[in-house]
Structure 1
Amino acid sequence: MAQPWRKSDGRVGPGPEFSLAGCAAALEAVLGGGTARVWFKESSGRNLRFRDWIAPRGALSKLYPQGQVPEDLMERLLSEYCHHLYIHNCVQTGAGLVIHLDHPALFKEVLSNLPFYTRPLNSVLPKKKCIILNCMPLHGSKGPETLTINHLRAILLADHLAELLRLQGYVVRGVPNLQQNAASCNFLRLIGVNWTTSQRTSSDNKRISDFKKILSESIYTQHGQLEAPPDQIRNKLLKGVQYKVDLKQFIKDKELEGYDTNLDVALVKEEALRQIAELQHTILQGALDQCLVIHVVGCEEEFQQQKIDVLWRILNREIEKVTQLQDQTPLQRPDLRDLSLRHLVCGPVKIMGKHSQIGAVQYFEFRRSQMLEASVVKYGNKVQGDSWSQIINSMTSAVIRFELLATAHRNPLNLDLAQGVNISTKGTKSGAFVMYNCARLATLFHHFNNSVEKGLYPHFPEISQLNFSALREEGEWLLLYNYIIPFRELLAQIIHSMNSDKGIHLTVNTETVCKFLVNLSMDFSSYYNRVHILGEPMEHLLNQMFTRLQLMKGLREVFHTALGTLHIPPPNQL
């Protein structure tokens, strides 16, 4: 449920008057297409010159003779939805039924209520839902030097997903809790990762002790001497093993689906019990109606994490059995009726060329040195001091996040570190290009504010005084229609994608934000290079300048919010 919103004219309503999802649903309902999709939103600049929505003749021919929509349906569409959907006209053409929206009215609606469209408001969820993000690469880390680039991809994915979930109103908790001031924490802060830190407590030790007692009595524990063959590698693997648990039998007994068919036995070490104990403790920290645990893991560690998943299920089942037999208060455990365990798996990262063996820290330093070199070439001796060091670190973090997150998380990723194109602000697929265009907006408003202080321009007027019919340039409608209007819906759809999968594996379209920012940067750059926004301070030109600046404010907010989900500080200078 959306929060109440006060509009620019003082009215209070449940939300914006226009959304692409609402528009599509209403249009589909009128034509009666059933489950078949009829309407399509246009997005390319070429097609937006002629129409905003189209029901292609091919789709209409399945519903109406020769694809001709009856006049009464068109009249109903215009009479019932014209105002709500901002429809200017509806016309039958050779290509199909096309709709032109009322551009000036939509410019006014959206640009007068920018916070609603550009800043996701926390949803009021019907139940207090909690997501536990268990980031496997952070467990037992002895320091940042142990992190691989595969690990870094999973860590950045978990960090990004956590922020997206919080924006949608979820309670998000990260596991493990890292020790404060640890070296790994310093590296994570350097790359902008906002992960949970705390001091260790003794409660986990008590839980581990309880788990050991349960396993020693479990029917799934194979008792007897652990085999110790003379092979040195096998001896090393068995070192620290305390229990041998039959996972395969448990999976068969409980009819669990989706797990690797090769899961057989688990050689349980204390570090696995410690991970489960911390997960248990995290869930019990607050009263929650529903809880989902997402194991974020690289593909090379997926099999081991499935073992820990099943082991946790065994421990909870055994606790429940003991509780029922002894009629006593359960040992501290979550209510499994509302606990769901899923796995978010990252594909492998392959480093091309001579740098194939570098770790996460070396990867960051390598990209940072490239960014520093590119900045010195562009800005010369100005590139020095703490402020420039922060800028270089921020730009490096942006480059790395876009490299590792712009590809769907399950897909493999190839990186060629020798290619400088990923660092250049002219490379339209890079995080540096996104940061450069975000900085152009900061510079634009810096110039405007300086001009106001010097008396060259008047102060920005009230939004209600602007005439948005002045926004007639082709790129202006494209920027509003493709980026500002759908932005909130886009963030919500990423989270909704979590509900599309069944089984233990989870797919989340987290690459969406990076791709969205790259496309936005390309279209904004094209517009910015073509249109002179800060014009001459002549009376008859001021309205157009201010309406364009208001559009740029909307784009700036979208940039900042989207970069915020990646924990990338927006740059304030070129």
Structure 2
Amino acid sequence: METAASAPAFSLAACSAALEAALRGPGCADGRVWFKESSGRNLKSRDWIAPRAALSKLYPRGQVPEDLIERLLSEYRHRLYIQSCKQTGSGLAILMDHPALFTHVLGNMLLYTRPLKVLSAKKKCVILNCAPLQENKGSESLTVSHLRTILLVDHLAEVLRQQGWEVHITPNLALKTSVYNFLKLLRVTWPCTQQTTSNEEAVSNFKKILSESVYTQLGKDKASSNQAQNMLPEDVLFKVHLKQFVKDKELEGYDANLDMALVKEEALRQIAELQHKVEKENAEDGLVIHVVGCEEEFQQQKIDLLWRILNTSRDRVTQKHLVCGSVKVIGESSHINAVQYFQFRRSQMQEASVMKYGNLVQGDSWTEIICSMTSATIRFELLATAHRTPVNLDLTQAVNISTKGTKSGAFVMYNCARLATLFDHFNKSVQQGLYPKFPETSQLNFSALQEEEVLCQTMQSLSSTKGIRLTINTETVCKFLVNLSIDFSSYYNRVHILGEPLEHLFNQMFARLQLMKALREVFHTALGTLHVTPPSQL
């Protein structure tokens, strides 16, 4: 028999798949059979239900043969923590062994929060190219749409690392520049360098390749006639026929309006930096994802195709595009840039904190809390929507740090602070001798937990349709944290976790505290992918 310590991580998805397979034989009809119970009243008697209507498509009158139920119990009772499986008037019902499941999940939280192990000998490599930062302008040129793209890169990089990918971000930022300092305020982890890498040799080689390419219609080089040179604008080096290249290579997914590209030196330098990153990280067989706003998508496709033309080596990188919808700011401040947006939200957070806590809001610790809360608020505002979907940002609405009805990053942070305060009160009570020390998990009796526990595992995948565009569920973590906060807030307001200091109540209190410990670990792990530090007080 598998023990709690040796059993693999439990997930509802795996449980559903196993139960579906158990009731189906070769040639059985398609369609879902099992459903997870969600009604509080029904959860007292069942966790899963296979309705009679669904079973009638598989078995006469919807009656599952008893020998099949016995085989299901024999094979899955311990693996899926099944207490009973019975035929009822509603269908086949499964009740789970909640204490055993709680013991496994709450006693082995590392199974659910640690990064995935890499099984392959060589890590999968991905380079995230943040297009808005390629031109290396000052922070005042960053729009709120640009900020959404930057935060998405920062989050996606951390999520992919936890899934076993080797992740590299480009471009590098020069230290102490206005952009670097601004991103640091936002807790954005970005690669930086003391000095810019010189790619003059690569740019020179690119010019030579383009001057000899069959796709170059006009170019400024020594062999060109004066007449040809005069036909190009002063800052344009080449005129390249991208449409013909797409046709010849039978490439799919590119904008049908792509035709001629007027190639400037800046484009060649951007491609040289990308090529340098690929060569430096030995990522010739890796994946390059251009993360770009919808406003710059057309231009980034030109960069993509030019790189394909210039990359004459046998090993070609795979290029994909992750496109972010625009951010429309509503209200009187509709024309603010990214820095002004941060300053605006930070001033609102400062004001809201003073209104709630008065003179306590002062000193370095509160400065850190307000900055962290602002960073969290901005991330949830910009990342909680699917990346292709535009975001309407209403700055006329003040930041809300209360517990009532908000679904923002501030709400998530507030509930993290409630957890921190809960354990702070417990530890102080232990020091005062009111409660005994927290026992080992193996000594806890989780039959004291009557609430349903659901562990949600979010999955990020690099899945794409045919072509160049990627679809990644980058909004999943934000939505998960908001929903988790709503559930926790409801539980916290309904259940008295720290009970009276009476010996017969200690086991129930410790079981609930262990649940809160696990919840805290999930919060912190998920927030870590957003580079948000949970507050210890609020």
> Which bin holds the TM-score, normalised by the shorter protein?
over 0.9
Call closer, same or farther: CA 1:544–1:185 in 2, change over 3 Å: same
Aligned to 2:19: 27
Q: What's the CA shift for 1:226?
A: 6.3
Answering whether residue 383 of structure 2 is matched by residue 388 of structure 1, we say no
- Is 2:347 aligned against 1:369? yes
CA distance in 2, matches of 1:556, 1:120: 17
Q: Distance in 2 between matches of 1:428 and 1:58?
A: 40
User: Is this contact kept in 2: 1:421–1:427, CA < 8 A?
Assistant: no
Partner of 1:454: 432
CA shift, 1:414, in A, is 0.8
**Cα distance in 1, alignment partners of residues 235 and 403 from structure 2:** 51
- In terms of mean alpha carbon deviation, does 460-469 or 111-120 score higher? 111-120
Distance 2:161 2:35 in 1: 31
Partner residue, 1:343 = 321
Give the structure-2-normalised TM-score. Answer: 0.93
Residues 352, 399 of structure 2: 8 Å contact kept: no
- Tell me how far apart the structure 2 counterparts of residues 265 and 455 of structure 1 sit (CA, whole Å): 78
1:546 paired residue among 510, 519, 523: 510
CA apart distance, 1:8: 6.7
1:221 aligned residue (216, 229, 247):
216
Alpha carbons of structure 1 residues 228 and 190: separation in structure 2 relative to 1, 3 Å: farther
What are the superposed Cα offsets for residues 330-349 of structure 1, whole Å, 9 maximum, x if unpaired?
xxxxx21xx21110001111
**Residue 45 (structure 1) shift:** 4.5
Is 1:530 paired with 2:466? no
How far residue 67 of structure 1 moved from its aligned partner, in angstroms, is 2.7
**TM-superposed deviation, 1:254:** 0.4
Q: Note the C-alpha offset of 1:435.
A: 0.4
Contact 1:448-1:534 at 8 Å conserved across structures: yes
User: 1:248-267 counterparts in 2 under 5 A?
Assistant: 248-267=243-262
| Partner residue in 2 for 1:325 | none
Out of 46, 50, 53, the position equivalent to 2:48 is 53
Which sits farther off after the overlay, 139-148 or 391-400? 139-148
Partner letter of residue 469 of structure 1? S
Structure 1 Cα separation of the partners of residues 74 and 344 of structure 2:
61
31-40 or 457-466, which moves further after superposition? 31-40
For structure 2, which runs of at least 5 residues remain unmatched after alignment? Answer: 220-226
Task: Indicate which of 112, 116, 125 corresponds to 1:130.
Answer: 125
5+ residue gaps, structure 1: 1-5, 230-234, 321-334
Show the counterpart of 2:102: 107
CA change 1:422–1:263 in 2 (3 A) is farther
2:82 is the counterpart of 1:92:
no
Residue number in structure 2 paired with 1:144: 139
What's the offset of the Cα at 1:71? 2.2
Give the secondary structure class of the aligned counterpart of 1:131.
strand
1:560 partnered with 2:538? no
Task: Write the distance in 1 (CA, Å) between the matches of 2:326 and 2:159.
Answer: 23
Give the match's secondary structure for 1:133: strand
The residue aligned with 1:207 is 202
Offset of 1:123 from its aligned partner? Answer: 3.3
CA contact (8 A) 1:128 1:288 kept: no
1:402 and 1:76 mapped to 2: Cα distance?
Answer: 47
Q: Following the alignment from structure 1 to structure 2, what is the Cα–Cα distance between the partners of residues 290 and 95? A: 54
In structure 2, the CA distance between the partners of 1:287 and 1:514, relative to structure 1 (3 Å rule), is: same
1:168 alignment partner in structure 2? 163
Is 1:428–1:522's contact at 8 Å kept on the other side of the alignment? no
Are the equivalent residues in 2 in contact too, given 1:399–1:432 (CA < 8 A)?
yes
Residue type matched to 1:506 in 2? L
Describe the SS at the equivalent of 2:218: coil
Q: 385-394 or 170-179: which moved more?
A: 385-394
- The partner residue of 1:294 within 273, 279, 289 is 289
More helix by share: 1
Q: Once the 2 structures are TM-superposed, how far is the Cα of residue 44 of structure 1 from its aligned partner? A: 5.7
DSSP 3-state at the match of 1:420: coil
Asked if 1:41 corresponds to 2:33, the answer is: no
How many residue pairs get aligned? The number is: 527
Q: Deviation at 1:98?
A: 2.3
CA distance in 2 between partners of 1:388 and 1:541 (Å): 37
Q: Post-superposition shift, 1:406?
A: 0.6
- Which range moves more in the overlay, 255-264 or 275-284? 275-284
Against the structure 1 CA distance between its residues 202 and 381, is the aligned structure 2 distance closer, same or farther, given a 3 Å change threshold?
A: closer
Partner Cα distance (1:37, 1:166) in 2? 34
Give, as a single letter, the amino acid of the residue that structure 2 aligns with 1:382.
Answer: L
Question: Secondary structure of 1:223's partner?
Answer: strand
Matches within 5 A, 1:495-534: 496=461, 498-534=462-498
1:368 is displaced (CA, Å) by 0.7
Which whole-Å CA distance do the structure 2 matches of 1:25 and 1:162 have between them? 30
2:376 maps to: 398
Measured in 2, the distance between the counterparts of 1:76 and 1:263 equals 61
Q: Distance in 2 between matches of 1:384 and 1:271?
A: 47
Structural RMSD (CA): 2.1
Equivalence for 1:416 = 394
The yes-or-no answer on 1:73 pairing with 2:68 is: yes
Alpha carbons of structure 1 residues 348 and 284: separation in structure 2 relative to 1, 3 Å: same
Q: Secondary structure at the match of 2:368?
A: helix
Q: CA deviation at 1:269?
A: 1.1
After alignment, is 193-202 or 203-212 more displaced? Answer: 193-202
Alignment of 1:181-330 (within 5 A): 181-223=176-218, 238-288=233-283, 290-317=285-312, 319=313
Write the mapping of 1:8-23 to structure 2, written as runs, cut at 5 A. 11=6, 15-16=8-9, 18-23=10-15
- Note if contact 1:118-1:554 (Cα within 8 Å) is conserved in structure 2: no
Aligned to 1:232: none
Q: Secondary structure at the match of 2:199?
A: helix
**Secondary structure of 1:284's match?**
helix
